Amino acid sequence: QVQVVESGGGLVQAGGSLTLSCTGSGLRTDLNNMGWFRQAPANEREGVSCIDWRGRNTAYADSVKGRFTISTDNSKNTLYLQMNSLKPEDTAMYYCAAVAMCPTTMPDMRARTNWGQGTQVTVSS
């Protein structure tokens, strides 16, 4: 049973940056397509970004394109999300998961692993 752990969230002012990390027991980033999701209060969980198992192809939600960068470090089995130029509307709990397919459109991105606890990102205006 894969269990992911997200970290790196925090409170930041608008325009600031954060880097999220994700590791998973029994989860190899060089064998899985990986993705980031987020869920704001009263909203459904939505796809943010994904990267394929080769680390060659990525996809992003339109709302984060040009500001967020997804990457993996296979030597550490770690997934990252570099978030720059953060906006208050980026405030949400962020989750990672292995995903069925990447690249894909974010509404079609489907998690293949159980959800972790997530990491909270709060952007103040």
Query: Residue 1: which pLDDT band, with cuts at 50, 70 and 90?
Result: confident
CB 46 within 8 A of CB 57: no
State the residue for tokens 């967020």: 68
Q: What is the pLDDT of residue 119?
A: 98
CB 119 within 8 A of CB 12: no
pLDDT above 70 covers a percentage of the chain that reads 100
Q: Quick one: tokens of 49?
A: 């970004």
Chain centroid to CA 23: how far?
11
Q: How many CA atoms lie within 13 A of 108 on its CB side?
A: 7
> How far is the C-alpha of 81 from the C-alpha of 103, rounded, in Å?
16
